[in-house]
Amino acid sequence: MVRIFGPLIGLFFAAALLWSFGVGVVQQIREPDPSTAVKDFHLAPKEEPTFSFEGPFGTFHNRQLQRGFQVYKEVCNNCHSLKQIAFRNLTDLGYTPAEVKAIAKNWATKAKTFDPKTGDAGERPNTPADHIPPVYYAGTGNPPDLSLITKARHDGPHYVYSLLTGYRDQPAELLKKYPDSKTPDGLYYNPYFANLNIAMPPPLTTDGQVTYSDGTKATVDQMARDVAAFLTWTAEPKLDKRKQTGWAVIGFLLAATALAYLAKRNIWADQH
C-alpha cells in the first residue's frame, strides 16, 4: 500500500509546486510588475565597512561604542529619543560609575518630576538610574526612538551607516525617467531610505562635527560607523555574552556527545 501511495503523494506535491511556479511565470509575462522609481533607484545597505561585532567571534569595541555614544549625544539626541537605555547601562561601554554619574547629571534634558501632594510638575538632574529622557521634536516628520532601530531594519548596522552617508542629489536619470518624482520641499533624497525621500535633514555633514576625546579623526564616515555600532549595542547590549555562551554550550554538547559515545561502547563492550 505504502509503495503505491508514497510515490503518488510525492508526485502530487511536485505537481502542485510546478503548477504554482508556472502560474507565477505566466502572470509575470502577461502583467510584469510595473517599474517604479523606488524599484529602480532604491539601494540595499552597503556591505562595507564590516563591523567588529560581525561573525560568530565578533565583539564590540568599547572605544568605538563610546565614540558612537558621543555622536548620539551631540547630534542625534537633538531629535531622537533612546528610551530603552538607562544611564547606568553606559558602564557596559567602559565608563566608570563616577563618569556615568557625571554624564547623567550634565545631560541637557532634565528628568521630569511630579509632586503628588500639589500635583506640580518639576525638573531635577538625571541620576544613573534614570532612562535617557525623551526628546521633544517640533520639525517635519517623526524621528523614531533609536533604541531598537538596528533590529527594526533589515541589515540594521549597515542600514544606519548607509542612510547617514547616503544623501546626494537626485540622479538626472531618475528625473528623466520619472519626471514627477522630484523630491518634495522639506524632504531629502536618500536612495537607502524606503521611499527615497526622507524628512531627516543630513545629520552628519562636516568632518570634525564632534571632537573625539580618544584622538580619532571625526570624519563623516567615521562618525556614521561609530554611531551605527553604538545603536547596535543599544538594540542588543548582550551580543558579546550571547556569542560567548553559544561557544560554551557547543563545547559542552561536544564533550557530552563524546562521553555518551564512550559510555555506549563501555556498556555494549561484551555484546557481539
User: Which residue ranges make up the site for ligand HEC (CB under 6 A)?
Assistant: 71, 75-76, 78-80, 139, 141-144, 149, 153, 160, 163-164, 198-201, 203-204, 227
DSSP 198: E
Q: Cβ closer to ligand HEC: 86 or 187?
A: 187
With contact defined as beta carbons under 8 Å apart, do 226 and 68 qualify? yes
Q: Cβ closer to ligand HEC: 126 or 197?
A: 197
Q: Cβ closer to ligand HEC: 52 or 205?
A: 205
Q: Cβ closer to ligand HEC: 17 or 44?
A: 44
Q: What's the rounded Cα separation, in Å, for the pair 244 and 260?
A: 24
Q: Cβ closer to ligand HEC: 151 or 238?
A: 151
Q: Which long-range contacts (CB under 8 A, 24 or more apart) does 39-44 make?
A: 40/174, 40/177, 41/171, 41/174, 41/191, 41/196, 42/191, 42/192, 42/194, 42/196, 43/162, 43/166, 43/191, 43/192, 44/155
Minimum Å distance from CB 111 to ligand HEC? 22
**Count of residues making up the chain:** 272
Q: Cβ closer to ligand HEC: 60 or 128?
A: 60
Q: Is 84 helix (H, G, I), strand (E, B) or coil?
A: coil
Minimum Å distance from CB 75 to ligand HEC? 4
Here the cell at position 32 is 510584469
Kind plus residue range of the DSSP H or E element containing 117 = none
Residues 6 or more apart whose CB falls under 8 angstroms from that of 237 comprise 89, 92
With contact defined as beta carbons under 8 Å apart, do 236 and 151 qualify? yes
Minimum Å distance from CB 187 to ligand HEC? 7
Q: Is 192 exposed, middle or buried (0-12, 13-18, 19+ CB in 10 A)?
A: buried
Minimum Å distance from CB 173 to ligand HEC? 23
Q: Cβ closer to ligand HEC: 81 or 128?
A: 81
Which residue from 219, 216, 204, 203 is spatially nearest to 65, judged by alpha carbons? 216
